[in-house]
Structure 1
Amino acid sequence: MDRVRAANTAAFAVSSVVTGVAVGAFVWALLFVIDLGISSIWDRVPVYLGEFYPLIMCTVGGAVIGFFVKRCGPYPESLQTVLGKVKADGRYGYDKIGRMSVGAALPLIFGGSVGPEAGLTGAVAALSTWAGDRLRRFGRGFGQLSRVGTYAALSAIFTAPLYGLAGAVDGDGECDPYASKWVRWAIYAAAVGGAFGAFLLLTRMFGGGLSLPRYTDISFGKEELIWAVPLILVGAVAGWLFHIFDAVFSRISELAGDRPVAKAVTAGVILGLCGMALPFVMFSGEVQADELNATWAALSAAVLVATGFVKIAATALCVNMGWRGGHFFPTVFAGISIGYGMASVLGIDPVFCVCAVTAAVVGGVVRRPLMAVLLLFLCFPLHSVVLLAAATFVGSKVPLPGSVKGAGQETSE
């Protein structure tokens, strides 16, 4: 019996690592295709329409997305729904994986203010479930490949292995008959590491991937500490507003009824108009954050702050009106933009402002401080942990109105 348990544990470990590597490669491949689509539409196509190009392309994108939803259904599902199904059922349906992948790509290619995490996670959860079903004859523990693959995907998407591992461990139950808790956790760590490593290797070799900026030099001088609380409160308000906008646009979507084309086109027109006035409002935000780092000093404080708050609203508009996707990357960008705007006004260290505001925004959206801090180590150094923890905690504790559901919690559940 012990030999059987050991063999099964070893087989599950190997399957988990292979699944992790495959997940990392799949995430990279889909992001690479999305990058090619964005480049084709926004960089390589001759732009004869000048300043109206964002409006026209977003309107066209809205029509394409609307007809896709009408024909294929509302894909991808939200990250909250995907993770909820994986936790509750131990699996995620894979019969519509093609639709999930296309649905994930379209809003990103046409400039939607949404992140890729929802669609990518759904597709990976489906693939992992398929693999688990093929291997289930070796034991029921192989069904857990769905969860292992899902959180390995999150580690690759966010390039945050600690976040993926924390999610896998948090969802770990006592359903694995093969190994102790510590052995299972080690297997999860290997799977997450495989996904993370495969993703980084392919990104280094062929480009693509996601590239949120990395800040290393941050000042904690007297003036910065004096302004810490006001900066955190500004970010907390932005995070709170995301939920308000989300509730408002959700209600508008309900009132519009089953009209996917009209809703998606309306969102496209509004997004295009916003993009004409404030170009950084469009897209998911990771590439735009690098551009903003290089140009923020040339922009006015009003433009920077307005860009951040309008992006919060645009993300809520998109996810509720058919341009389905995640909201982590757009809200991080919103925090960065508002932070730079506050630095212009206050004249203090810009990285400190960006760190305080962004952490409060993400904490307000995610509503789980620990997971928010793990995600924000993507951008900020370890020695900013106290500021990150304080800001995410304050942002997460701002009370929401009773009628408003914390939609942002999907990032961490």
Structure 2
Amino acid sequence: MISRYVDPVTAPAQPAAPPPASPARDLLPLVLPALVVGVGTSLSLIAVSEASDLLKDLLWETLPDAIGIGPWSVAWMLTVLTATGLAVGLVVWKVHGHAGPDPATTGLVDPPLPPAVVPGLLLASALALAGGVSLGPENPITAANIALAFWLGRRFMPAGPPQLWVALAAAGTVGALFGTPVAAVLILTESMVSAPRQPAAAPGGRPPTLWDQLFAPLIAAGAGGLTSRLLEAPQFGLPLPPLKGPHWPDLVAALVVSSVAAVIALAAVYAFPYVHRAFHLLPHPVLALTLGGVALGLLGALGGRLTLFKGLDQMGELAADPGAHSAGSLVLMTVVKLAAVLVACGSGFRGGRIFPSIFAGTALGFAVTGLVPSVQPAVAVTCAVVGVLLAVTRQGWLSLFAAAILAPDPGLLPLLCVALLPAWLLVSGRPQMQLDGSGVALR
């Protein structure tokens, strides 16, 4: 077959390809939903926190004063934590949705839950926070916000991609938790690297850039963080002596402390499946959670009152006067806090592992300065937090950010980045503190 010759001069012009769509036209419609989701996630976090604080004051101040018993006595800690386990067990057993999936199988950002699960999940989380359980609010409140944002978003903006609502809710919640959007953006960036690649751009268009994908989540995280700052003002900075240097000995200390902290936390990670299996051999969740409460009460009696609760306020109290505790008692606090996280999560309490892990790293860092006074507290504490968080969460950006905001000093950042490397080599490919449906640790 002979093709016909076409004169390029006299031939009619081919229609030009349509110009690529303006990125602003695609991104501007996301601004309002991102703002609404960001503010909403922060308000839900504040509401749960305020409710749990009211109950906490009742349990740990009003009631013991009324009956004339010390709130930090062994008897009262055992009573409150056992009762908390019983109450959470009843919620898990009787409330619709059973307070969500097994917390040992959940991470910080998971697929959306059915909206009907949210009330039971938040109730179980608030009870645990108030009762002194060593877990934070991050996992339950993020799951609840994702469920609500996904449900409402799909109802009122059905044309939007489903993953948009997950990203907005997760970013807004993390921004509210830390009072800044930086942590949310770092976590989402890390998740995008492991997520499937974006589909190819339409003809005449262009593939979305990283900042295109982060545009709406960044707005949600900023709105959540600003709302949290305006209404609650979360504080993470510790009253640590300013860094002098850094000098060469600080580099050696950073490498050693982060590695030791990672190894200690890895021991807890390896024990996690066995603790979880032991509690799940029990025939009923009420029994498992009640016994978990008893175990937490005993651990609290062993480690002291600072090892109770999520650890944020207790961390500040510890940093305000670290000399009040010996190096041995600080090591004990570290071990007890990690053990309490294992028991709490393994027995079925709803909560997150980030905040108690930060407390464990802080206590370990002060123990290092007690044992080796030449190590600067800012180096010891932040590098210990990096090592513990890397082992527990397996999220490098989150670990680096959490350590950096404890002592916001530009001179620490190079040390933290270097300290992260040997700790990451130690934890990479190891079991995680998260299980699959069969009880096997993820890697």
Aligning the two structures, in what range does the TM-score lie when normalised by the shorter sequence? Answer: 0.7 to 0.9
Q: Following TM superposition, by how much is the alpha carbon of 1:132 offset from its aligned partner in structure 2, in angstroms?
A: 0.7
Decide which moves more: 113-122 or 345-354: 345-354
Q: Does 1:369 align with 2:403?
A: no
Query: How far off its partner does 1:265 sit?
Result: 1.5
Q: 1:143 to 1:344 in 2, by over 3 A?
A: closer
Partner of 1:33: 51
Q: Secondary structure at the match of 1:398?
A: helix
1:295 alignment partner AA: D
TM-score, normalised relative to structure 2: 0.81
Report what 1:119 is aligned to: 140
* Structure 1 portions without partners, runs of 5+: none
Equivalence map 1:139-158=2 (5 Å): 139-141=159-161, 144-158=164-178
> Does structure 1 retain, via aligned residues, the 8 Å contact 2:261–2:388?
yes
Q: Find the counterpart in structure 1 of residue 419 from structure 2.
A: 391
Q: For residue 318 of structure 2, give the secondary structure of its aligned residue in structure 1.
A: helix
- SS state at 1:140 partner: coil
Paired with 1:79 and 1:152, the residues of 2 have a C-alpha distance of: 24
- The amino acid of 1:157's aligned partner reads L
For residue 299 of structure 1, what is the aligned residue in structure 2?
A: 325
Q: 1:135 deviation in Å? A: 1.9
Distance 1:408 1:355 in 2: 28
5 Å-filtered alignment, 1:61-100, equals 61-72=84-95, 74-77=98-101, 78=103, 81=106, 85-86=110-111, 91-100=112-121
In 2: Cα distance, 1:4 partner to 1:234 partner = 51
1:128 has 2:153 as partner: no
Displacement of 1:287 in angstroms is 0.3
CA offset at residue 319 of structure 1? 0.4
Say whether the 8 Å CA contact 1:155–1:162 is kept in structure 2.
yes
Kindly state the Cα deviation for residue 84 of structure 1 after the two structures are TM-superposed: 5.8
Mapping for residues 231-270 of structure 1, pairs under 5 Å? 231-256=257-282, 258-270=283-295
Asked if structure 2 preserves the Cα contact closer than 8 Å seen for 1:359 and 1:372, the reply is yes
Distance 2:32 2:125 in 1: 29
Aligned-residue offset at 1:42: 1.2
Choose the corresponding residue for 2:215, options 186, 193, 205: 186
Find the aligned partners of 2:290 and 2:235 in 1 and give their Cα distance. 27
Q: Does 1:355 align with 2:382?
A: yes
Q: Matched residues in 2 for 1:99 and 1:4: separation?
A: 44
Q: CA deviation at 1:288?
A: 0.1
CA distance in 1: counterparts of 2:396 and 2:160, whole angstroms = 34
SS in 2 for 1:115: coil
In structure 2, what is the equivalent of residue 45 of structure 1?
A: 63
Pairing of 1:190-229 with structure 2 (within 5 A): 190-204=219-233, 209=234, 211=236, 213=238, 215=240, 217-219=242-244, 220-221=246-247, 223-229=249-255
* 1:184-232 CA-partner distances (Å, limit 9, x unpaired): 422222221111111111114xxxx564636572233454444334322
Q: Summarize the Cα distance change of 1:150–1:222 in structure 2 as closer, same or farther, 3 Å threshold.
A: closer
State the number of aligned residues: 399
Instruction: Name the Cα RMSD after superposition.
Output: 3.1
Q: 1: CA distance between counterparts of 2:241 and 2:161?
A: 42
Alignment of 1:272-283 (within 5 A): 272-279=297-304, 280-283=306-309
CA contact (8 A) 1:28 1:199 kept: yes
Residues 1:23 and 2:31 are matched in the alignment: no
Q: 1:125 to 1:42 in 2, by over 3 A?
A: same
- The corresponding residue for 2:12 is none
- Residue 119 of structure 1, CA deviation: 0.8
- Percent identical among aligned pairs is 23
**Richer in helix (by share):** 1
- The verdict on how the C-alpha distance between 1:141 and 1:225 changes in structure 2, with shifts beyond 3 A counting, is closer
Instruction: Verify the 8 A CA contact 2:236 2:406 in the aligned structure 1.
Output: no
